[in-house]
């Protein structure tokens, strides 16, 4: 379970998160929507410990992410994150990209890491691309490789940060299909997205962020069909 308690985060003078409280249960799919600069992506990087927080607490399965003494490298093994830009390791083939962390972080043998990598790449539909270098693939394929790379660490939680935002509209579908598949398999996920149809379809709950505050959180039918907060109404009206 991910527990977020009164989290504040600033970049210099700019307050990005202003007291976020949120709990994500195991197996839940939470979608976070909101305008640019509302703090959605920052929240994900704070959950993963990539960004420090100013105050509050983020607890993942009983471990305080930002407590002194927390082994973040160990914690990150259970919290996979995929970014807007897929960030492939360009000097490694697709298979090597996915094998690297299981080998070096989990200490698996080459054969074990390869087995896991092939399984995950097959899972996301890239079984034919094992020996290809990332720059030879489309953005959608590279993003699916990034998802497989995170999944190869067998994470218990997956964070997706606008994973379709940098993609050609033609390629968005294949990545969303991969996320749908993960959701149907029971993976605990927090997805920051601008894909409203996708959010409505796969989420257990949808949270709307506005200027660093979680303005509203509800089941997708309720949030999309009967939003309560005026900013949510304004945002949804603008996106339709």
Partner 1 sequence: MFNTALTWNDLVFLAQGAGMTLMVTAVSVAAGTVLGIVFGLIRVQCGPYWSAPLTFALDVFRSVPLLIQLVLGNALQSIMKLGWPPFTTSCVVLSLYTAAYCTEIVRGGIGAVPPTTRRAARSLGMTWWQDMRYIVAPLATRVSLPSWIGLTLGVMKDSALVLWLGLIELLRASQILVTRLQEPLFILLICGAIYFIISFPIARLGGYLEKRWSPND
Site for partner 1 in 139-158 (CB under 8 A): 146, 149-150, 153
Site for partner 1 in 60-119 (CB under 8 A): 73-74, 76-77, 80-81, 83, 85, 87-91, 100-101, 104-105
- What three-state secondary structure class fits 25? coil
172: closest CA among 143, 148, 192?
143
Q: Is 165 in the site for partner 1 (CB under 8 A)?
A: no
Q: Would you say 48 or 188 has its CB closer to partner 1? A: 48
Question: In angstroms, what is the minimal distance from the CB of 93 to partner 1?
Answer: 8
Q: Would you say 48 or 164 has its CB closer to partner 1? A: 48
The footprint of partner 1 on this chain (CB under 8 A) covers a number of residues equal to: 25
Question: In angstroms, what is the minimal distance from the CB of 161 to partner 1?
Answer: 10
Q: Would you say 71 or 128 has its CB closer to partner 1? A: 71
Whether the CA torsion 58, 60, 62, 64 is positive or negative: it is: negative
Q: Would you say 158 or 171 has its CB closer to partner 1? A: 158
Q: Is 58 in the site for partner 1 (CB under 8 A)?
A: no
How many whole angstroms separate alpha carbon 163 and alpha carbon 14?
A: 25
Question: In angstroms, what is the minimal distance from the CB of 132 to partner 1?
Answer: 10
| Residue 55 neighbours by CB under 8 Å, 6+ apart | 6, 7, 8
How many whole angstroms separate alpha carbon 191 and alpha carbon 81?
A: 10
Question: In angstroms, what is the minimal distance from the CB of 18 to partner 1?
Answer: 24
219: closest CA among 29, 3, 17?
29
Q: Would you say 84 or 211 has its CB closer to partner 1? A: 84
How many whole angstroms separate alpha carbon 196 and alpha carbon 191?
A: 11
**198 DSSP assignment:** H
Say if residues 55 and 7 touch (Cβ distance below 8 Å): yes
- The 10 Å CB-count burial string (b at 16+, else e) for 28-62 is bbbbbbbbeebbbbbbbbbbbbebebeebebbbee
Q: Is 50 in the site for partner 1 (CB under 8 A)?
A: yes
C-alpha distances (whole Å) from 86 to each of 127, 128, 147, 152, 161 are: 18, 19, 9, 15, 10
Q: Would you say 51 or 201 has its CB closer to partner 1? A: 51
Site for partner 1 in 189-208 (CB under 8 A): none
The footprint of partner 1 (CB under 8 A) covers 48, 50, 73-74, 76-77, 80-81, 83, 85, 87-91, 100-101, 104-105, 133, 135, 146, 149-150, 153
């Amino acid at each position: 379970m991910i527990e977020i308690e009164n989290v504040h985060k600033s970049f210099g003078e700019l307050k990005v998160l202003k007291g976020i409280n949120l709990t994500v249960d195991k197996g839940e799919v939470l979608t976070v929507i909101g305008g640019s600069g509302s703090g959605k992506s920052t929240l994900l990087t704070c959950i993963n410990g990539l960004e420090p927080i100013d105050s509050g607490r983020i607890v993942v399965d009983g471990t305080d992410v930002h407590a002194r003494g927390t082994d973040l490298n160990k914690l990150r093994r259970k919290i996979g994150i995929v970014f807007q830009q897929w960030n492939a390791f360009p000097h490694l083939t697709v298979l090597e990209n996915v094998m690297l962390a299981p080998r070096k972080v989990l200490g698996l043998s080459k054969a074990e890491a390869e087995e896991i990598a092939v399984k995950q790449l097959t899972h996301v539909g890239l079984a034919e691309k094992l020996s290809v270098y990332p720059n030879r693939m489309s953005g959608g394929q590279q993003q699916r490789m990034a998802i497989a790379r995170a999944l190869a660490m067998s994470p218990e939680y997956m964070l997706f940060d606008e994973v379709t935002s940098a993609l050609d509209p033609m390629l968005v579908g294949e990545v969303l299909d991969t996320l749908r598949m993960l959701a149907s398999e029971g993976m605990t996920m927090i997805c920051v997205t601008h894909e409203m149809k996708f959010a409505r379809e796969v989420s257990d709950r949808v949270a709307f962020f506005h200027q660093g505050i979680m303005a509203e959180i509800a089941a997708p039918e309720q949030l999309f069909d009967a939003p309560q907060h005026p900013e949510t109404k304004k945002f949804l009206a603008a996106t339709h």
